[in-house]
Amino acid sequence: MRDGDGAVLEGYLRRPVRPDQISLSPQESLALLIEGGLVVDDEATALAWIEAVGYFHLKGYLEAFRKNGNFGEATLFEHVLELLKWERSLRSILLTQLGNFELRFKVALVAIIGQGSGTGYLEWSNFQPGLLERWKKILTQVLDREVLRGQERFIESFNVPDDLALIPLWRLVEVMSFGEVINLYICLDAPHRSAVAQRMANPDECGGMLTAQEFDASLFALRDFRNLAAHFRVLFDKEFWWFPSLSEPNRRLSQSVYFADVGGVLRTFDVITLLMYFESTLERGEDPWRSEVADLLQRAPTCKANITGILGAPSDWFTRPYWSMGTAPTAIANAPRGHSTGKKMSKREYNKANREQIQAAKKANADLLKLQKRNRRQEG
């Protein structure tokens, strides 16, 4: 078996199956976890979760609690579920914000090559010669799927019977996937890509400037994160391509409060700040998502794992000013108690955060005592 004119698949099929990756039944998977030190009080519930989401999906969360291959003392299956459910809340908020970014990106493209008749996407001079065929192929796929064979009412409503007029870009982008829209941008020539990037720039950061090179890196990171999140990949301990630490774009963007802590790669926490950078002024006044994310991070499960650290957040992330920058006063006033709005913590807030950490430590100790008590009963 060969894929095209290469032998990649043929070579792949010759690889042996790893003995440690043989499929296990839910019962066998659960037994393996218990053997590794995971405490399971309710085996029926644990089996139900393994059957519902799969052992290897749960394993992504289990790794947050492993040390030297085994689980730490008093690591409960309930801790794993708490982390999974917490991450689902974070994922939901971030995917919504990524959708807002995608809409703004489409508007920027229309503003640059969709003026007038809206057919700038058909003017080949707007594209890089070396990437023109790539854009034609993508465009053909979109037209075939959405116009010639599709049932998209948004597109159908544009044309009346016998109307063979070209579809303007502002309608076409509405039925294009995020990946297809990114390819449209990538295939544009340098002046048009620079113009789109500048349309996406945050007017309050780095002198209101954003180059195409800087936007490209941001766009690829957000694309990769979106693909990861949309397909329910675990968000922990992931890295996304960014500028080398000493590169000129990195040095320039580091002047922004959003990128001051970013090194040569982006982590999940950095993607959150990237979304803040691209947030529109309207959204900053209407959508309190920053407050919601800050609250979630403050309430991250403590159960034997430094969750915010695994996400790439600095230890004092809550002191960063961007959590409250541009946020509507009503959003801050209505924010849940116990979360930081991003301002420097007052002594009272600091003491409250310490109390919460002490309570979390007490809970962990209680879990340990519970385990020890059960072990004594079993030995007796």
H, E, C per residue of 163-225: CCCCCCHHHHHHHCCHHHHHHHHHHECHHHHHHHHHHHCCCCCHHHCCCHHHHHHHHHHHHHH
The SS3 call for residue 71 is: strand
- Tell me if 365 is assigned to some domain: no
CA distance 180 to 170: 14
Pick the more confident residue, 284 or 322: 322
Same domain, 309 and 196: yes
Q: Please compute the mean of the pLDDT values over residues 171-188 and round it to a whole number.
A: 95
Evaluate if residue 335 carries a pLDDT over 50. no
Are 62 and 160 part of one and the same domain? no
Give the confidence band of 326 by pLDDT, cuts at 50, 70, 90.
Answer: low
Between 349 and 241, the more confident residue is 241
Give me Rg for the CA atoms of the chain. 25
Q: Are residues 33 and 111 in the same domain?
A: no
The pTM is what? 0.79
Per-residue pLDDT, averaged over 243-266, amounts to 89
Beta strands in the chain (DSSP E): 66-67, 70-71, 240-241, 265-266
Q: Give the pLDDT confidence score for residue 136 in this predicted structure.
A: 97
360 lies in some domain: no
Predicted local distance difference test score (pLDDT) of residue 145: 85
Helices 212-230/77-113 angle, 10° precision: 140
Q: Hey, CA dihedral for 146, 148, 150, 153, is it positive or negative? A: positive
109 plus 70 within the same structural domain: no
Q: For residue 164, what pLDDT is reported? A: 62
Cα–Cα distance, 309 to 317 (Å, whole number)? 10
pLDDT at 63: 81
Q: Is the same domain home to 288 and 333?
A: yes
Q: Give the integer Cα–Cα distance in Å for 102 and 356.
A: 37
Task: Count the domains in the chain.
Answer: 2
Verify that 39 and 152 share a domain, yes or no: no
Determine what percent of the chain is predicted with pLDDT higher than 70.
Answer: 77
Q: In the predicted model, is pLDDT for residue 74 greater than 80?
A: no
Per-residue pLDDT, 344: 41
pLDDT at residue 195, as a whole number:
97
pLDDT at residue 2 is higher than 70? no
Report whether 222 contacts 98 (CB < 8 A).
Answer: yes
Distance from chain centroid for Cα 82: 19
pLDDT at 46 (0 to 100): 94
Question: Residue 124 and residue 263: Cα distance in Å, rounded?
Answer: 38
As a whole number of angstroms, the distance between CA 316 and CA 143 comes to: 50
Average pLDDT, the chain: 82
CA 134/CA 125 separation, integer angstroms: 14
Residue 160: pLDDT over 60: no
Q: Are residues 100 and 38 in the same domain?
A: no
Residue 257 lies in a domain: yes
What domain range is 270 assigned to? 84-349
In the predicted model, is pLDDT for residue 187 greater than 70?
yes
- If you search the block for the tokens 């057919």, which residue do you land on? 119
Phi, psi of 168 (to 5 degrees): -70, 155
Beta carbons of 213 and 158 less than 8 angstroms apart: no
**Long-range contacts formed by 247-254: CB under 8 A, 24+ apart:** 249/211, 249/213, 249/214, 249/217, 252/206, 252/214, 253/206, 253/214
pLDDT of residue 345: 43
Domain assignment present for residue 68? The answer is yes
In a domain, 356, yes or no: no
Lowest mean pLDDT among 91-100, 138-147, 237-246, 325-334: 325-334
Residue 159 backbone dihedrals phi, psi, to 5 degrees? -100, 135
Residues 27 and 112 grouped into a single domain: no
- pLDDT over 50 at 129, yes or no: yes
Choose the final residue of a domain: 75, 97, 119.
75
- In 10 A of CB 152, how many CB atoms? 14
Give buried/exposed letters for 50-60 (b at 16+ CB in 10 A, else e).
beeeebebbeb
Q: Phi and psi at residue 372, in whole multiples of 5°?
A: -60, -40
Question: What are the residues whose beta carbons fall under 8 Å from the beta carbon of 67, sequence distance 6 or more?
Answer: none
Asked if 236 and 253 sit in the same domain, the reply is yes
Q: In what helix (H) or strand (E) does residue 178 lie, and over which residues does it extend?
A: helix 178-187
- pLDDT for 373 beyond 80: no
Cα–Cα distance for residue pair 338/239, rounded to 1 Å: 29
In a domain, 370, yes or no: no
My answer on whether 235 and 192 are in the same domain is: yes
In a domain, residue 106? The reply is: yes
Of 93, 114, 85, the closest CA to residue 307 belongs to 85
pLDDT confidence tier of residue 189, bands split at 50, 70 and 90: very high
Residues 143 and 113 in one domain: yes
Is residue 145 located within the same domain as residue 179? yes
Residue tagged 């340990």 (tokens): 368
Alpha-carbon distance of 8 to 268, in angstroms, equals: 32
56 inside domain: yes
